[in-house]
Structure formats: C-alpha cells, structure tokens
Amino acid sequence: MTTKLQEGILVGCGNPLLDISAPVPMEFLQRYGMKEDDAILAEDRHMPIYHELVDGYQAEYLAGGSVQNSFRIAQWILGQPNVAVFFGCVGKDRYADILRQKAREAGVNAHYQISEETPTGTCAVLITGTHRSLCANLAAANRFTIDHLEQPVNKSLIENALYYYISGFFLTVNPPSIMRVAATAHAKQRPFLMNLSAPFISQLFMQPLLDVMPYVDIIFGNEAEAKAFATAQGWAADEDLREIGRRLVALDKLNSARPRIAILTQGCDPVLLIQHDAPVQEFPVTRLAVHEIVDTNGAGDAFVGGFLSQFVQGKSLDVCIRCGNYAAGHIIKNPGCTYSGDPHFVDQ
C-alpha cells in the first residue's frame, strides 16, 4: 500500500460469528434437512449440530460472520490497521475473546456490543467435498440494538466514515440500525454498499431489503442470491443474470445523481459489473484446480473484502473487482475465510 488512509473510513455492522467448520458426510446434511451450498438460520431442530461437530468430527474454530470476514480481508490487503470499524453484538465468553483477538490481529477496529446473558453466535460450516453448507445460530448477534450506534464514540465513528458496508444478513437482526447508517451515508453523500447475502434474505426479508434499497449505491450478490431476489420480486424465474442485474440497478434510488451498480459473482465464471446505461462488463476469474481448493467458505466475503480494500483508496471499479477476485482466489486455498502470508495484488 502506498497512500496512508485515514483511520475509520470504512464502517459496517453485522453478525460476529465463530465458525465451527468440519468435513461431514452427505448423510449429516440430509439428517438435518440441509442442502449443499445453502445458508440458513438455525431452528430448534438444528441446535444439536454444533455439539455433534465438536464431539464427533474434526471441527476447526475460525473467525466468521460475513461483514467481519470482508473487513479482515480488506485490512489484510491494506496492511494498515483500523481503516475498518465493525459493529456487532457478542456474548461475554471465550468465543467472543477469540473473535476479538482475530479482529485485532487482522487490524479491524471491532466495537462490540456485549450481551451479558446470551452466548456469542456460531455458524456451523458443513463441508462436503468442495461444497459447504452454513447454519448460523445468531445467539448474541441477534441482540444488537440501535442504542449501540447511539453511543457518542460509535456515533462519531459513523459520522466520520467515508464508506459504509452492511450485509443482507443483518436485515434479520436490526433493520432500524441499517436504516440509520444508510441515512447518514445519504445525508453525507457517501457510498453505501450492501450484499444480498443468501437466498433466504430475499425469500423471507424482502420488505426490509426493499426499504433500504433506495439508499444502496453498490449491491453485491452471487448467482443464487440474485435469482432468489428475482423470484421473490415476481420477475421471470429463468431470467438471465444480466437482466436481473439491470433490474436491480433500475430499482428506485434516492440519490439519482449516483446510479446504483450491481456486482454479481458466479463462482469460477466471470464477475458481472452492471451499471446504468452501460453494457454489462465481465471480469474473468482464474479457475482453480480442484486440488488447489481447500474450501470455498467465505469466497464471496473475501471478494467483497478485496473490492473494499481498493474502493476506499478511490481506485477504479475495474481494479476493485480484480482485487475481489484476487482475494477470493486466495482464501479458497485456505480454510474458511482465512489468509496466509502477505497479499500480492498488483493493481495494474
């Protein structure tokens, strides 16, 4: 990194989760009514998963939670601590200590709200070959309240930021907090970025998603998430991804001077950049051989992290997307959303 950035220019809210990750047989998924490559919220019937993983499989504990993942990756690439500030709620326990330490090591300035009576959230990451299925037990993450953002220190961190990123996952927790951050971004004419996060968000939380959409300058999603959004909107079920992107971009927007941008990833197929009144652009992905892939858990989050690391430096969308692909390609070769060594992204 060449230019020194102001601390705290990137602010986000999300669910701080500790990932409990293990390879499991397909039978495990079937027993819990889960599918490969899905992401769900835990119901009562899923609660035994976490103990079963720890007791019966070679489970690894990894720092998780979508926005925190993206911020850790952005910080790794930036190489300058405290550019990113993260808000979320954890319990008062060992898992929270692990998350705090991982955030600090990565250079993320985590301002956690603490729930005294609820444990830190966890996410079961069930690995079947090169696929993964996620089951999040939000626990303390679900206790986040808007008062946390109203604390004077946190309020000023939000006021002083220049870029804002919140995942769609946070819509299940506290839409008023999202609206508060989005409104600040809008009032200050600063970019507000969001992620569709998982198909279930569009299926079950469409109204709060539509409420915040007018504020969203850049929307990220993968193919399944974009298609779930399209279906929930009643757009043709077999709609082409480019057309879905065009329609996402065309949804109502408050600041019409800065038209919305959609960035849709498609695994190892090219990333689509969809902008108002411009042809769709494709950015190729260097496909990894199967033997190079450890797991794809966190690929989408790492993509966003790489993107943000360049976006906050004012780099072009082209550079931001190439860095997203670089970061995703790197973390796929590591367990969960983790990295190894120094980043080697060249921006030309």
- Decide if 182 contacts 214 (C-beta within 8 A): no
- For residue 80, give the DSSP letter: S
Does the footprint of ligand AP5 cover residue 328 (CB under 6 A)? yes
Q: Of 158 and 304, which has the nearer Cβ to ligand AP5?
A: 304
CB of 123 to ligand AP5, least distance (A): 4
- The span from the CA of 89 to the CA of 14, in Å, is 8
Contact string 26-65 vs ligand AP5 (x = CB under 6 A): -------------x-x----------------------xx
78 by DSSP, 3-state: which? helix
User: Using CA atoms, how far apart are residues 246 and 268, in angstroms rounded to an integer?
Assistant: 21
For residue 120, the number of C-alpha atoms closer than 13 Å in the C-beta half-sphere is: 23
Q: How far is the CB of 296 from ligand AP5 (least distance, A)?
A: 4
CB of 18 vs ligand AP5, minimal distance in Å: 8
- Binding ligand AP5 (rule: CB under 6 A), the pick from 268, 280, 294, 317 is 268
> Looking at 119, 191, 259, 267, which residue binds ligand AP5 (CB under 6 A)?
267
The set of long-range contacts for 1-5, using a CB threshold of 8 Å and a minimum separation of 24, is 1/77, 1/78, 1/79, 1/80, 1/313, 3/313, 4/80, 5/78, 5/80, 5/83, 5/312, 5/313
Of residues 80 and 340, the one with the C-beta less far from ligand AP5: 340
317 is an interface residue for ligand AP5 by CB under 6 A: no
Residue 11 CB, nearest approach to ligand AP5 (Å):
17
Task: Give the SS3 label for residue 267.
Answer: coil
Radius of gyration of the chain (CA): 19
Q: Which residue is nearest to ligand AP5 (CB)?
A: 300
CB of 336 to ligand AP5, least distance (A): 6
Binding mask 130-159 for ligand AP5 (x = CB under 6 A): --x-x-x-----------------------
Check if 301 is active-site.
yes
Torsion of CA 129, 133, 139, 144, to 10 degrees: 120
Binding residues for ligand AP5 restricted to 286-315, rule: CB under 6 A: 287-288, 296-301, 303
Angle at 161 between CA 339 and CA 265, to 5 degrees: 45
Q: Which of 15, 115, 118, 338 binds ligand AP5 (CB under 6 A)?
A: 15
User: How many residues make up the chain in this entry?
Assistant: 348
- 337 in contact with ligand AP5 (CB under 6 A): yes
Nearest Cα to Cα of residue 299 among 276, 269, 270, 331: 331
Q: Is 66 in the site for ligand AP5 (CB under 6 A)?
A: yes
- Which residue is catalytic, options 37, 217, 301, 347? 301
Lookup: tokens for 188: 């200050």
First CA to last CA distance, the chain: 14
Nearest approach in angstroms of CB 41 to ligand AP5 is 6
How far apart are the C-alpha atoms of 1 and 3, rounded to whole Å?
6
Minimal distance, residue 168 CB to ligand AP5, in Å: 9
Residues 168-207 within binding reach of ligand AP5 (CB under 6 A): 169
Residue in 265, 309, 313, 338 binding ligand AP5, rule: CB under 6 A: 265
Give the interface with ligand AP5 as residue ranges (CB under 6 A).
14-15, 17, 19, 39, 41, 64-66, 69, 123, 132, 134, 136, 169, 222, 265-268, 271, 285, 287-288, 296-301, 303, 325, 328-329, 332, 337
Q: Show which residues are catalytic.
A: 301
